[in-house]
Amino acid sequence: MAIIVPFKAVRPTRDKVCLVTCRSYEEYVNAELAAQLDFNPLSFLHILKPAYTNQETVSFEKRYRQVHQKYQEFKNEIILVKDNKPAIYIHKIVTKTHSFTGIIVGTSVEDYRNNVIKKHEDILAFRVQLLKDYMKYAEFNTEPVLMTYPDNKTIENWIYNCTQKLADFEFSTTKKEIHYLWKIEDSLEISWLQNIFEKTESLYIADGHHRTEALKLLSEENTDPENTAKDYILSYLISENNVKIYEFNRLVKDLNGFSKEDFINELSGSFIIENKHKQPFQPSEKHQFGMYLDNDFYSLVLQKDNEVFETALESLDTQILYKKVLLPLLGIEDLRNDERIEYISGKQSILEVKQKIDLGEFELGFILFPSNIEEIKALADNNLIMPPKSTYIEPKFRSGLVIYEL
């Protein structure tokens, strides 16, 4: 049984929304960030990085309080306005290749504690603490946790009918995305949707594990019984069939002392290897891998004759590559911190892998087949954790579009 709640969102005014919203702060390279901060005074980036014009080193707490202060300035200047009634919001994102539509609501921290909201990724304690402190002092959250729910024709039809009406927001971005937002504040309609989700056994975190854990800590620290906002997680709920999952390909800086010939010979104990020469090779199914080494592409197909997968984790391609190649042959134990390995999202062409190796930055590249939602759910259902950088999941939400006050 999943609990969802409406809330009074803070949002940009209709005439300013395309100037206010921004991508996640981490996505900007320095030059792009500087340009936004210099030339767009309405960008939400001014809230996320309020000390841009005064670059002195300050403590985390002071920096986070500056975020809150800048946020209040945007509200005082009527750049951001709080809705009068609690509502839920339907958000549609249209990219060059996909269309995503989901529901923005509050989900229950208690559901997360009780494993109604399920996770599949590991978390870093220091990052969770930073996020918790950030939201504690900033007193808002604007990056929803992406969660999936089982495909539901009733919800799908309801969303379709809602989205036939004029959107509250409709705007384009410099990334050639179109964003739409509909506000649903009718109490009967909200209760109807809540009843549907009460019959939903589980929600699955697709993206936002650290933020969810941070909000749990924030809720546990809350000593004000009147502040129930901290008991809920700003969430973007999307049907399982509407997420897009990409792989993360691997780049390795050396062969750990192996010659090319000896390394390929070692691989042949676990994989059927075919040299594709100059023809770029993209895996087309699970347990198939691409490799780029010394100007040649290779196909690696797992030899399954003696393979017995006892858990969903063991059958995962990223785990297979780790257990059979990265750890025993290349000596890479810590996938998150080892400086000899880097990752490139499957959104980018595999020719990016080739280029980085041809330029001498790396010696070896592995190209993977993307995981699917069923694998993610199987891991979450069995309390198993994916290896780091196993998935890159869309949609990605824009900061400053819908703000949940804490």
pLDDT digits (tens, 9 = 90+) for 379-402: 999 999 999 999 999 999 999 999
pLDDT band at 71 (very low <50, low <70, confident <90, very high): very high
For helices 187-198 and 153-162, the axis angle rounded to 10 degrees is 160
CB 219 within 8 A of CB 109: yes
Q: How far apart are CA 235 and CA 229, in angstroms?
A: 13
Q: Tell me what percent of the residues of the chain surpass a pLDDT of 90.
A: 89
Overall average pLDDT of the 348-354 stretch:
94
Q: What does pLDDT average to over the chain?
A: 94
pLDDT digits (tens, 9 = 90+) for 218-258: 999 998 888 899 999 999 999 999 999 999 999 999 999 99
| DSSP strand pairing (145-149 vs 203-207) | antiparallel
Q: Which two tokens stand for residue 44?
A: 């939400």
Q: Catalogue all structural domains in the chain, each as residue range(s) with its CATH number.
A: 4-245+394-405 (no CATH), 248-369 (3.30.1760)
In the predicted structure, residue 285 carries a pLDDT above the cut 90: yes
Amino acid 328 reads P
Q: Whole-angstrom Cα distance, residue 99 to residue 90?
A: 13
Taking alpha carbons only, the member of 393, 285, 297 closest to residue 351 is 297
How many angstroms from the chain centroid is the CA of residue 204? 12
77-110: string of b/e by CB count within 10 Å (b at 16+)?
A: eebbeebeeebbbbbbbbbeeeebbbbbbbbbbe
Q: Cα-atom radius of gyration of the chain, to the nearest Å?
A: 23
Q: Whole-angstrom Cα distance, residue 215 to residue 131?
A: 8
Whole-structure pTM over 0.85, yes or no?
yes
Q: Are 329 and 341 in contact (CB under 8 A)?
A: no
Q: Which of 22, 41, 48, 34 is nearest to 177 (CA)?
A: 22
pLDDT value of residue 28: 86
Of 158-172, 215-229, 355-369, least confident by mean pLDDT is 215-229
pLDDT bin (cut points 50, 70, 90) of residue 25 is confident
Q: Residue 166 gets which letter from DSSP?
A: P
